[in-house]
Structure 1
Amino acid sequence: MSSTANGPAIEASGLRKAFGDQVVLDGIDLRVSQGTIFSLLGPNGAGKTTTVQILSTLIGFDGGRIRVAGHDPRTEPDGVRAAIGVTGQFSAVDGLLTGEENLLLMADLHHLGRRTGRQRAAELLGRFDLVDAARKTANTYSGGMRRRLDLAMSLIGEPRIIFLDEPTTGLDPRSRRTVWQIIRELVTGGVTIFLTTQYLDEADQLADRIAVLDKGTIVAEGSPAELKRLVPGGHISLRFTDVHELGRAARELGGQRDDEALTLQIPGDGGVKSLRALLDRFDAASIDVDELSVHTPDLDDVFLALTGTSKVAAS
C-alpha cells in the first residue's frame, strides 16, 4: 500500500519496544505531516534513537502500528527504505575514500547505474559546497564538511523522508547554521524531516512540531510556541511614555510595575486571544501604550518542567 498524496509521511500508534525487561517505548503515537520538520526531543535514555531505528527499519518493534511513506516496516521494509534517507549521530562517511567516492559508493548501493550515479554525485557535491574537496579523502575534512557529506550521502536516492538523528552534534556554531540552512532548503523542496537533537535552540529554530519523549512516553506535543505556553512564567511587558499612563494601566490591569523603567508586566501566555483581550481593555480605558513585548519561557524551561531535567542529551 503506497502513501496517498495528502496522507502523513510518518504515522505510528501504540508503538512499543523493550530490550529484555527494560521498556524503552511504552505505546507512543506519532503523526508527521508531509513537507514538515518534526522534532523528537527528550532526556538521555528517553528512546529517541530507538524510535528512529524502528521507523527506518533498522530494528524491529514489539507492538503497535507504523506507516512510513504509506508502508509497513514489518511487511514492506523495501518500500520504506526506498522512500527514506538516514543520517545518524555518528557519520557514516568512510574516511579513507574521497568525498566523490563516498557518494559513488552510495549510488552503487542504490543501484543508480554508473552514469546516473556520477551525475547525482556531481549535483550533490555542488549543492553541499564540496566540489573543491571532492577528490580529497574524507579524513582530511573538517567536522562541518563531514556532516555535509554525510547529509549528501543520505540524499543520493532522492528520499521523500529523511531521519536526522543528532545531525549537528559536535559542530561549531557556523557549521550548525549551515546544516540548518540545508535542512530548511530540503523542506522547501518537499522533503519531510524527522529530527532528533540534543540542542533545544535547534528544535526551536527548525521544527514545525515537537514531541517530548520521556521514560518511553510522549509527555507533550505541539509547536515550539505551544509548548512554551505550557510552562508558567510567561508575561506581557508594557512600556509607557510617562508615569501617569503607567499608573492608570496598573490600576486597570494589575501586574508588576516598575516606575523607573516605566514598565508594567502582566502575566499571560502571549497567545493571540489573550493579546486581543488585553488590547481591547486598553482601548476601552483609553490607555496609551508606547511599546508591547511578549515574553515566554524557553524550551529549556519546558524540559525542566516536563522531564525534570534542563538538558537534553543523546539517547
Structure 2
Amino acid sequence: MASTSAAKSRMRAAFKVSTLAASSPFSKEADAHAEGGDRDEWLRSDVGRAVLTGDLERVRILITNAANKAADLASQADDDDGGGDSDDDDDEGDPRRSPSPKKGRKSPKKKKKNVEEEVNVEVSPDMLEKSLTDPERKKLQRMRPADRRRWRRRRCAELFAAAPDAYGEAPLHIAAVYGHERIAKYLVESLSAPVDVPNAEGLTPFLLACARGSLELASYLFRNGASDGPNPQQEHTCARHSFSGATALHLAATSGNSKLVQWLMSPAGGSLNPNWRDDFLRLPVESAATADVVEVIEAAMRDIARAEAEKQAATL
C-alpha cells in the first residue's frame, strides 16, 4: 500500500513538472522576470513587453500609434482618400507629422528598424485588405474619407491586438500567463481580441489562465467565449491542450487553486469531468499540486460514481 502511494506521489510530481513546462514558455519565467530575470524579452513585440509588465496605459498608446500608422499607409494607397486626412487632430504628437526628424536621430533609428522588422509585429496594408469581407469593402467605398480612415484605425488596432510576436504569443496569451486581468479585459472588450486561438504551444488564453490558477481571469474568458460549454469529446481547442491532451482541469490542478478546480467542474465553469484523461491516460487528480485540490477532485469523482451507480440500479 505504501509503495502504491509513493508511486502515485512520484507520478504526480513528474506530471506536474511536465505539464507546467508545456503550459507556456513564459509561465515558469514569471517569477524570474519579477526579480529581474535575463530572458530575451527584446524578442517580444513592443506591445508584448508592455503587456508582460502590466502597463495598460502603454499598451493602449502603442496599439493606437501602430494602428494609426498602418491606417495611414492604407490610406495612401487609396485613390479615393485624397485629402481625407481631415482628422489630423487625432494624430497630434505623431512623429510622422513633424516637418523632419532631428539630426543624429535618423541613423540609430534605421539600425533599430532592422531588428524590429524581424521581431516586432507589423500590420501591412495587404494584411488589412485580406482581413476585409466583401460587405466591409462595399461599406468602406461609401464612407467619407475621414470615416474610412477611422474605420481602418479600428480594424488595424484589432489586428495588432490579435497578432503573435516572435514567440507565437498574442497579447492576450501574455496577459493570461502573467495574470493581468485589466489588460485582458481591454484587449477583449475594446479590441475584440480572440479568446479561443491557441498559441504556438497549443494553449489558449483560457488554458493559460487555468494553469496560472487565476479564477477571475479564467471565468472572465469563459464568459466571453473561451469555451462552448460541456463537451464529452472535448473537440473545442479551449478546454484541451492540443499537444498533450490535458484539459483545463489538468492544468488548473497543477496551480493548486482548489476554488478554480471546483469551478471548472461546476456547470458555471463548463462541467469538466474529473474522469477525463489526457493523451498519456493521466487523470487531473494525478497532477494536483496540493492536498485540498486532491480532496475536491476525489469528492467530485465519488459523486459521479455514485450517480452512475444509482442510474444503473434504476434501469435494472
TM over 0.5: no
TM-score, normalization by structure 1:
0.35
- Structure of greater relative contact order (alpha carbons < 8 Å, 6+ residues apart): 1
As a proportion of its length, which structure holds more helix? 2
TM-score, normalization by structure 2:
0.35
